[in-house]
């Protein structure tokens, strides 16, 4: 029986490949290269035996010469920069990078045409001489931890068509997340940054001469700062075959060298993002008819966006001085434009209806551009649109997605002013993956049809004034596989069956704050093995905190605050991730000693419970990465451990141990916390005076030591704390004169020295504190007169147009300042202080003399108490009512408490939102 000819030929070819042997010198060179490496995933395990042509990643010619080596890391690790600026690994798998030194033996393979070693780790090896590889057409050493300066390593590689020496990649960056307390808005100045994977530099680009066939050149991250000082692009201009030129993050300064680039008539892709261009986009780029992609983001562009009608991709993100006129832009023809990204540029105005003229648009990103007005109905004509991001703008109107947007995958319009209900037509967008409309004015109920969106993986409607009830999460999303969900503070009541089965529900992020949850912490959460973020705050949960909650393998952010949970807190185990590693169980009914804490913790909030015993002696060693610690309003006793601030601690920013039964002296080790912003030790039993070492905490802005037993003179060390905004030393045993150096604390807004034993006169220099809004020297032994020039208190000379909250956002957690205010004999405790909480209280002293006429200048003064002194004369009348009654204080107190809670909720909730933004964008970019 004869075998068919074609199968027979295949058998012969396979037999030949199995029996032929590669050249021995090439096999030895490969084995030498392997001997200097470690291979964690066994990619080089087949590199044995006589025939190297059948080894993994190796290809040979018909003459058995090695012509191709492909050892590119198949699964590079994915990183992002978290809100704490720490680089965080996002990928789940272990590193598959080959490690070791880059042996020169590999570059002796003179028949080599293709070499890819990218995304491995060659431990800062130098670039070997590759001048012998005359046949080489493709060389990729990118992001492989190489450290060298380029000189003559690539001389005479005339066959080379593609060269990639990049040593940096763009990663998502959440460290620019900021929170404006005065506007209750979150913002982000950039969504990306660069991460280096090695260090390569080049003093000039003359080494490009001779690479005449080069079509692709990628030098992302290569330091060209010295080269760009002269005519750096001239060697590029002679590469007439060049199609792709990527020079991201190269330290290039000065304008785009348009004269040289116009010689690149085949250029299709130009990326020069993360440089220092400091000029406009050259309009002459329109002459490069083959140019289809340009990225000039993060490059300090100026002027107006240029008209480049040949582009398919136009990216100019994060150029704050670049003006983008949509109305002018969309009146012009853009026949090929598919991707337009102008995030964090200067757009202003509204989105014009003429956007429908760009019918080819696939992705539009215009977040943080001050866009106002409504979304025009003509958006429905963008039938190719897959991704729409209009976040951080001022867009109003209703949300009316059209079924013609059938390709839409990402819809991100967070932090705007949208109103009305979520229309049922949203469910006709069958491709939708990301639905992200947090922080708008959406109303009504969630449409019942969301279960039809089988591709949905991100659903965020938190912080909207919606209504209605959701009977179960499974009924809402029974057909989709969700990765991130947040219903927090949406007005939605969520009813959860304690034993419901959610087999397909495995989110990473789950926000259910303020969803009217009752009963115990739901059991189904114990099965969420991918869960990294869980927010159950401000509900009516009861019972104990189950130990399984801290055994979830990915959990890094847990907020159970404002519930009715009781019992002891189990030992804490939390992981690190994009958001600050957080445990917040504030305002519950927990008791017992402070438990064993996770060393990964960055935010710890145990305030408002019934914890007893002493603060653990080794707390500083237990949580060495802590940035925010609050143990206030408990029943803790004993001293502050000296371990709290280890030597040269540059992380800890907030310490709040107020309202406990702590005692002893303040340890000098607190001076080691050089990044400390807020220190609150009020309402305890501390004695002595402040340690001089505290003067090294020069960033300290809030110092609250009220209601203790501190004594001695006014602490001189405070003269070094030039950033102080709030200082409360009230209700202690300090004595002596109020020092004149207090006038040098020019940022002070609140100064409370009441109920001490200070004597002497009030320093005239106090009036130099122009930002001062509240001063309380009551219940001391002060004498003399009220200083003149009260009109210097500029923050009190006019009524504030709007009140902004005082305090700080530290790692997405609110650190505030409290205040006691006496009005008409009634004490009012403000748990949050706004800019309109103003006052002067000099009561119960030995002051005298004429009441200064300058008081009449203080139009913004809402409380004045001069009682129980020896003044004479009348209080000058103000043009506005400068008195404040008890009723008004109570109203402001209520408003303050509500706003304090609101801000805390919003600040914490934004951690989820920004990550959802990342998930949605990453999903689309992976496809691209």
Kindly give the pairing relationship between strand 322-323 and strand 303-304.
Answer: parallel
Give the model's pLDDT for residue 899: 46
pTM of the model as a whole: 0.88
Average pLDDT value for residue range 901-918: 44
Give the model's pLDDT for residue 263: 95
Give the model's pLDDT for residue 504: 74
Give the model's pLDDT for residue 887: 30
Query: Where does 266-417 have alpha helices with state H?
Result: 326-329
* The residue to which tokens 């037993």 are assigned: 709
Residue among 195, 204, 133 at smallest CA distance from 163: 133
Give the model's pLDDT for residue 276: 95
Decide: 908 and 512 in contact? Cβ < 8 Å. no
Spatial CB neighbours of 646, under 8 Å, sequence gap ≥ 6 = 620, 621, 624, 669, 672
Q: Which long-range contacts (CB under 8 A, 24 or more apart) does 440-445 make?
A: 440/413, 440/414, 440/415, 440/416, 440/464, 441/417, 441/465, 442/399, 442/418, 442/466, 443/419, 443/467, 444/420, 444/468, 445/421
Give the model's pLDDT for residue 498: 63
Decide: 222 and 249 in contact? Cβ < 8 Å. no
d(CA 346, CA 184) in angstroms, rounded, equals 22
Task: Concatenate the DSSP letters of all residues of 566-624 into one string.
Answer: EEPPPPP-----SS--EEE--SSEEEES-----TT-SEEE--SSEEEEEPPTTHHHHST
Give the model's pLDDT for residue 87: 81
In this predicted model, which residue has the larger pLDDT, 705 or 95? 705
Q: Work out the pLDDT band at 501, boundaries 50, 70, 90.
A: low
d(CA 299, CA 277) in angstroms, rounded, equals 5
* The residue to which tokens 């290809």 are assigned: 59
Spatial CB neighbours of 858, under 8 Å, sequence gap ≥ 6 = 790, 791, 793, 796, 797, 840, 878, 882
Position 835 pLDDT exceeds 90: no
Q: Work out the pLDDT band at 740, boundaries 50, 70, 90.
A: very high
Q: What's the N-to-C CA distance of the chain in angstroms?
A: 52
Coil/strand/helix, residue 16: helix
* The residue to which tokens 């106090």 are assigned: 766
Lowest-confidence segment of 158-172, 300-314, 390-404, 706-720 by average pLDDT: 390-404
- What is the tens place of the pLDDT at every residue in 419-451? 999 998 888 898 999 999 999 999 999 988 888
Give the model's pLDDT for residue 541: 96
d(CA 639, CA 326) in angstroms, rounded, equals 62
Give the model's pLDDT for residue 885: 31
Q: Work out the pLDDT band at 575, boundaries 50, 70, 90.
A: confident
Task: Concatenate the DSSP letters of all residues of 407-425 into one string.
Answer: T--EEE--SSEEEEE--GG
Average pLDDT value for residue range 837-848: 93
Spatial CB neighbours of 739, under 8 Å, sequence gap ≥ 6 = 714, 716, 719, 763
Residue among 394, 445, 405 at smallest CA distance from 423: 445
In this predicted model, which residue has the larger pLDDT, 887 or 610? 610
Give the model's pLDDT for residue 796: 87
Position 889 pLDDT exceeds 50: no
Label residues 109-143 b or e (16+ Cβ within 10 Å = b).
bebbbbbbbbbbbbeebebbebeebebbbbbbbbb
d(CA 399, CA 224) in angstroms, rounded, equals 47
Sheet hosting strand 635-638, strand order edge to edge: 566-567, 589-592, 610-614, 635-638, 661-664, 685-688, 709-713, 733-736, 757-760, 781-784, 846-850, 870-872
Lowest-confidence segment of 18-27, 154-163, 866-875 by average pLDDT: 18-27
In this predicted model, which residue has the larger pLDDT, 25 or 451? 25
Decide: 772 and 839 in contact? Cβ < 8 Å. no
φ/ψ region of 458 (left if φ > 0, alpha if ψ in -120 to 50, else beta) reads beta
Give the model's pLDDT for residue 903: 43
Give the mean pLDDT of the chain: 87
Average pLDDT value for residue range 41-50: 93
Query: Quick one: tokens of 301?
Result: 């562009």
CA–centroid distance for 369 within its chain = 18
d(CA 176, CA 358) in angstroms, rounded, equals 32
List phi, psi (to 5°) of 700: -60, 125
Give the model's pLDDT for residue 902: 43
Most confident of 87-101, 468-482, 490-504: 87-101
Helix (H) or strand (E) holding 68: strand 66-70
Give the model's pLDDT for residue 601: 93
Query: Quick one: tokens of 715?
Result: 């602490």
Q: Work out the pLDDT band at 732, boundaries 50, 70, 90.
A: very high
Position 906 pLDDT exceeds 90: no
Length of the chain in terms of residues written: 928
Position 411 pLDDT exceeds 90: yes
d(CA 126, CA 199) in angstroms, rounded, equals 10
Query: Quick one: tokens of 377?
Result: 């109905």
- What is the tens place of the pLDDT at every residue in 641-694? 999 998 888 899 999 999 999 999 999 999 999 999 999 999 999 999 999 999
d(CA 807, CA 829) in angstroms, rounded, equals 16
d(CA 219, CA 235) in angstroms, rounded, equals 14
d(CA 247, CA 200) in angstroms, rounded, equals 13
Position 250 pLDDT exceeds 90: yes
Give the model's pLDDT for residue 83: 74
Decide: 670 and 694 in contact? Cβ < 8 Å. yes
- What is the tens place of the pLDDT at every residue in 255-269? 999 999 999 999 999
C-alpha torsion sign, points 283, 284, 288, 294: negative
Q: Work out the pLDDT band at 896, boundaries 50, 70, 90.
A: very low
Average pLDDT value for residue range 892-919: 43
Give the model's pLDDT for residue 696: 93
Spatial CB neighbours of 383, under 8 Å, sequence gap ≥ 6 = 359, 404, 405, 406, 407
Most confident of 465-474, 632-641, 809-818, 881-890: 632-641
Decide: 174 and 917 in contact? Cβ < 8 Å. no
Decide: 547 and 570 in contact? Cβ < 8 Å. yes
Give the Cβ contact number of residue 397 at 10 Å.
Answer: 14
- What is the tens place of the pLDDT at every residue in 62-91? 999 999 999 999 999 888 887 777 787 877
Query: Quick one: tokens of 268?
Result: 């299709």
Give the model's pLDDT for residue 826: 77
In this predicted model, which residue has the larger pLDDT, 182 or 373? 373
Q: What beta strand segments (E) does 257-386 contain?
A: 269-271, 293-295, 303-304, 313-315, 322-323, 339-341, 363-365, 372-374
Position 497 pLDDT exceeds 80: no
d(CA 329, CA 757) in angstroms, rounded, equals 69
């Amino acid at each position: 029986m004869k075998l068919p000819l074609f199968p027979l030929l295949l058998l012969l070819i396979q037999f030949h490949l199995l029996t032929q042997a590669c050249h021995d010198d090439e096999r030895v060179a490969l084995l030498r290269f392997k001997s200097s490496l470690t291979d964690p995933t066994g990619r080089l395990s087949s590199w044995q035996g006589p025939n190297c042509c059948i080894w993994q990643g190796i290809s040979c010619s018909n003459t058995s010469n090695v012509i191709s080596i492909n050892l590119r890391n198949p699964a590079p690790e994915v990183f992002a920069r978290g809100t704490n600026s720490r680089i965080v690994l996002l990928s789940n798998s272990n590193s598959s990078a080959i490690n070791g030194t880059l042996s020169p033996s590999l570059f002796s393979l003179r028949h080599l045409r293709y070499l890819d070693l990218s995304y491995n780790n060659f431990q800062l090896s130098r670039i070997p001489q590759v001048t012998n590889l005359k046949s080489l057409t493709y060389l990729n050493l990118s992001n492989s931890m190489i450290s060298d300066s380029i000189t003559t390593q690539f001389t005479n590689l005339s066959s080379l068509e593609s060269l990639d020496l990049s040593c940096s990649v763009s990663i998502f960056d959440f460290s620019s997340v900021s929170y404006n307390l005065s506007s209750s808005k979150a913002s982000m100045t950039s969504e990306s940054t660069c991460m280096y994977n090695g260090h390569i530099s080049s003093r000039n680009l003359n080494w490009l001469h001779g690479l005449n066939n080069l079509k692709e050149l990628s030098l992302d991250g290569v330091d060209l700062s010295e080269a760009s000082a002269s005519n750096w692009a001239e060697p590029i201009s002679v590469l007439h075959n060049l199609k792709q030129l990527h020079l991201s993050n190269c330290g290039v300064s000065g304008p785009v060298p348009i004269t040289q680039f116009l010689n690149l008539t085949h250029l299709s892709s130009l990326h020069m993002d993360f440089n220092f261009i400091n000029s406009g986009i050259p309009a002459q780029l329109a002459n490069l008819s083959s140019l289809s992609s340009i990225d000039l983001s993060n490059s300090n562009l100026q002027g107006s966006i240029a008209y480049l009608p040949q582009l398919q991709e136009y990216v100019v993100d994060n150029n704050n001085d670049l003006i983008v006129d949509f109305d002018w832009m969309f009146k012009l023809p853009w026949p090929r434009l598919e991707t337009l990204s102008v995030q964090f540029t200067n757009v202003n105005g509204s989105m014009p209806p003429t956007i429908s003229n760009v019918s080819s648009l696939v992705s539009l990103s215009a977040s943080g551009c001050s866009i106002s007005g409504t979304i025009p109905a003509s958006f429905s004509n963008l039938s190719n649109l897959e991704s729409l991001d209009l976040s951080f703008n001022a867009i109003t109107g209703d949300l009316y997605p059209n079924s013609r947007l059938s390709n839409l995958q990402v819809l991100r319009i967070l932090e705007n002013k949208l109103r009305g209900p979520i229309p049922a037509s949203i469910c006709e967008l069958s491709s939708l993956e990301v639905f992200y409309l947090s922080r708008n004015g959406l109303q009504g109920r969630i449409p019942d049809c969301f279960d039809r969106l089988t591709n949905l993986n991100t659903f965020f409607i938190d912080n909207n004034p919606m209504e209605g009830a959701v009977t179960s999460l499974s009924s809402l999303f029974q057909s989709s596989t969700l990765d991130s969900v947040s219903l927090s503070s949406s007005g939605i009541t969520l009813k959860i069956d304690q034993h419901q089965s959610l087999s397909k529900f495995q989110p990473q992020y789950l926000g259910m704050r303020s969803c009217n949850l009752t009963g115990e912490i739901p059991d189904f959460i114990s099965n969420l093995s991918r869960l990294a973020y869980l927010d159950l705050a401000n509900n009516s949960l009861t019972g104990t905190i189950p130990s399984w909650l801290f055994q979830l393998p990915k959990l890094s952010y847990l907020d159970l605050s404002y519930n009715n949970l009781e019992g002891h807190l189990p030992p804490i185990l939390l992981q690190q991730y994009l958001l600050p590693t957080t445990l917040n169980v504030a305002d519950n009914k927990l008791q017992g000693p402070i438990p064993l804490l996770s060393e990964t913790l960055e935010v710890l909030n145990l305030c408002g419970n019934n914890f007893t015993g002493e603060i653990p002696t080794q707390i500083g060693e237990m949580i060495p990465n802590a940035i925010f610690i609050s143990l206030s309003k408990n029943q803790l006793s004993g001293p502050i451990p000296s371990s709290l601030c280890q030597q040269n601690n540059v992380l800890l920013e907030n310490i709040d141990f107020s309202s406990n039964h702590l005692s002893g002296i303040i340890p000098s080790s607190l001076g080691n916390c050089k990044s400390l912003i807020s220190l609150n030790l009020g309402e305890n039993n501390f004695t002595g005076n402040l340690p001089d070492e505290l003067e090294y905490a020069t960033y300290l802005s809030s110092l609250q030591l009220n209601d203790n037993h501190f004594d001695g003179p006014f602490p001189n060390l405070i003269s070094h704390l030039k950033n102080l905004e709030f200082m409360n030393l009230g209700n202690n045993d300090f004595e002596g004169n109020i020092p004149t150096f207090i006038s040098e604390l020019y940022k002070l807004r609140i100064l409370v020295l009441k109920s001490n034993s200070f004597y002497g006169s009030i320093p005239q220099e106090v009036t130099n504190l122009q930002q001062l809004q509240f001063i309380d020297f009551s219940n001391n032994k002060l004498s003399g007169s009220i200083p003149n020039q009260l009109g210097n208190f500029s923050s009190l000379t006019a009524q504030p147009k709007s009140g902004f909250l005082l305090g700080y956002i530290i790692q997405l957690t609110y650190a505030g300042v409290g205040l006691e205010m006496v009005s008409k004999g009634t004490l009012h405790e403000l748990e949050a202080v706004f800019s309109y909480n103003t006052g002067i209280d000099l009561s119960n002293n030995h002051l005298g003399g004429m009441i200064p006429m300058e008081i009449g200048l203080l139009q913004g003064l809402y409380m004045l108490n001069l009682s129980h002194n020896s003044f004479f004369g009348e209080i000058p009348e103000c043009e506005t009512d400068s008195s404040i009654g008890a009723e008004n204080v109570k109203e402001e107190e209520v408003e303050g408490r509500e706003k304090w809670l609101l801000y805390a909720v919003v600040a914490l909730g934004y951690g989820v939102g920004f990550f959802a933004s990342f998930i949605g964008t990453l999903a689309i970019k992976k496809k691209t």
